[in-house]
Structure 1
Amino acid sequence: MTTPPDQPGQFPPGQQPGQFPPGQPGQYPPGRPGQLPPGQPGQVPYGQFPPGQPGQYSGPGAYNPYGQGADGFSYAPPGRLADWPIRVGASLLDSLLTLIPSVAGVIAALAINGNRDELGAAGGVAMVGGFLLAFLVWVWNRIITQGRTGQSFGKKITGLRIVDQTTGQLIGFGRNLGREVCAQIFNQLCFLNVLWPLWDDKQQTWHDKAVNDIVIRT
């Protein structure tokens, strides 16, 4: 044990002014200055967040609450918001996908009867079958696939994805179904629904706002 100094201001033998004795408060442990010993409170590996703490990423596409806010968000979205033209392009590709069986049904009906004005039973079945197949394709594409992955056929081709604007996660089957039903209703009531992303700060349509989602570029 080091013998305490007899007089104020006197340092033990071999100790320089400003130097802490071994094991005394104020001395940094071996390693980089400012580094806390393993297991001490406040130690966090560089670039990581403790489990369950704000800022921790929960998976691909998760939000970073400490990101730079933009476009009306107080945090950084998990991707760049999709511009209106590319959203229109994705919708057109989806429409083309459902148009193919409809046209095929009409062509088959005309081939059977030769005259659309005098459509027979066989031609009628072919035409109705084409429209029914188109509806099933729409359900598979816009409801099932988009609800499971956040991407329809058109969105996958153009690199878009639908996510929750609060969590950045997929919105799921139920909310996606509500989104598509709202889209059909709003589009029939007012064409402004399609144009709304042009001036909206989050580039959302009305049906996006109805289910609290955003469309991003992946």
Structure 2
Amino acid sequence: MTWRVVVQGQTYETSLEELRQWVQEGRVLPTDQIFQPGVGWVAAGQVADLQAWFPPGAATLPPPAGFSGSTPGGGDLASSPYASSYAPHTPPLDPYTPAYGQVGGYGPPMAISFGSPASLGKRFLGAFVDGCLTMLCSLPGIILYMTAIAAGVQDGGSVPAGRAAGGYLLIYLGAIAYGLLCAYMLSKSGASPGKKLAGTVVLREDGQYLTFGMAILREFLKNVFSNICFLLILWLLFDSERQQLYDKVVRANVYEAS
């Protein structure tokens, strides 16, 4: 399950195991806000799964002289009433930053400033743009199919089967080609052309981009679910994480990119 923590105004996503580690290191304090799956936003000190990991008296002991440290958001622990509970460990050289998506798995971890699921308006905009671009890629097939229909009407006979089949084939090839392009872009930057325009990004639960294979599976399931029953697309309206069914399968979600 994905947990969220807000430190110094910065939202981070992580697992329970890593969150416990941050608590032990003094990077998450009892008053920091935690989003606990199935519960909602509460103070970290009130989360039963974390209480045993806070040092005794974390909120009462005064800070030792000369102590300094940092939180995930870069805050100074020396000014915190909890600071002495985490001493005398050596403070890290750099502020701790949870790792988020990395292009191709290379380069240092990046802190991403988003943390909440994308709004419905941005989701609709991204889907609408991608839908229009899919139609554009399928346009040659649509034209060929329509000319076959027109020829059949004009001749007063049957529709030319070969031309109609060719149009159908081009329509599907165009849609598949754009779907593969979207999957490739999701694996590299987390966003299809429509999502880039809308300012959203697709990330896995661990904050990484989908692999190319999982991105293809996501695009495939999205089309399957929408063709089986259009109402399945409305699933996110009733989901606490605003997550689509196909995103649950690939363990990902659509987030605000800025």
Q: 8 Å contact 1:144–1:173 — kept in the other structure?
A: yes
Counterpart in the other structure of 1:184: 223
- Cα deviation, 1:117-151, whole Å, max 9, x if unaligned, reads 45447744762463144134323333222233221
Q: 8 Å contact 1:187–1:194 — kept in the other structure?
A: yes
Query: For residues 101 and 174 of structure 1, what CA distance do their matches in structure 2 show?
Result: 22
**Paired residue for 1:141, among 173, 181, 192?**
181
Query: For residues 128 and 202 of structure 1, what CA distance do their matches in structure 2 show?
Result: 38
Which stretch of structure 1 is more off in the superposition, 137-146 or 84-93? 137-146
Give structure 1 stretches of 5+ with no counterpart. 1-32, 50-54, 63-76
Query: For residues 155 and 89 of structure 1, what CA distance do their matches in structure 2 show?
Result: 8
Q: 8 Å contact 1:61–1:79 — kept in the other structure?
A: no
TM-score by length of 2: 0.52
Task: Tell me the CA shift for residue 161 of structure 1.
Answer: 0.8
TM-score by length of 1: 0.60
Counterpart in the other structure of 2:143: 107
Query: For residues 216 and 163 of structure 1, what CA distance do their matches in structure 2 show?
Result: 7
RMSD of aligned alpha carbons: 3.4
Is 1:169 matched up with 2:216? Answer: no
- Cα deviation, 1:53-86, whole Å, max 9, x if unaligned, reads xx54462256xxxxxxxxxxxxxx8433101232
Which stretch of structure 1 is more off in the superposition, 116-125 or 174-183? 116-125
- Cα deviation, 1:79-130, whole Å, max 9, x if unaligned, reads 3310123212211211111112433333355568852545447744762463
* Structure with the larger strand share: 2
Query: For residues 230 and 141 of structure 2, what CA distance do their matches in structure 1 show?
Result: 29
Structure 2 CA distance for partners of 1:187 and 1:106, relative to 1, 3 Å: closer
Query: For residues 205 and 212 of structure 1, what CA distance do their matches in structure 2 show?
Result: 10
* Structure with the larger helix share: 2
Counterpart in the other structure of 2:242: 203
Counterpart in the other structure of 2:196: 156
Task: Tell me the CA shift for residue 175 of structure 1.
Answer: 1.6
Query: For residues 56 and 136 of structure 1, what CA distance do their matches in structure 2 show?
Result: 36
Counterpart in the other structure of 1:59: 109
Q: 8 Å contact 1:102–1:131 — kept in the other structure?
A: yes
- Letter of the structure 1 residue corresponding to residue 66 of structure 2: G
Task: Tell me the CA shift for residue 194 of structure 1.
Answer: 1.0
- Letter of the structure 1 residue corresponding to residue 125 of structure 2: G
- Letter of the structure 2 residue corresponding to residue 138 of structure 1: Y
Query: For residues 109 and 78 of structure 1, what CA distance do their matches in structure 2 show?
Result: 44
Give structure 2 stretches of 5+ with no counterpart. 1-64, 69-87, 100-107
Task: Tell me the CA shift for residue 216 of structure 1.
Answer: 0.6
Which stretch of structure 1 is more off in the superposition, 106-115 or 180-189? 106-115
- Count of residue pairs the alignment pairs up: 164
Query: For residues 254 and 136 of structure 2, what CA distance do their matches in structure 1 show?
Result: 26
| Larger Rg belongs to | 1
Structure 2 CA distance for partners of 1:113 and 1:185, relative to 1, 3 Å: closer
Which stretch of structure 1 is more off in the superposition, 199-208 or 129-138? 129-138
Query: For residues 60 and 116 of structure 1, what CA distance do their matches in structure 2 show?
Result: 59
How many percent of aligned residue pairs carry the same amino acid? 24
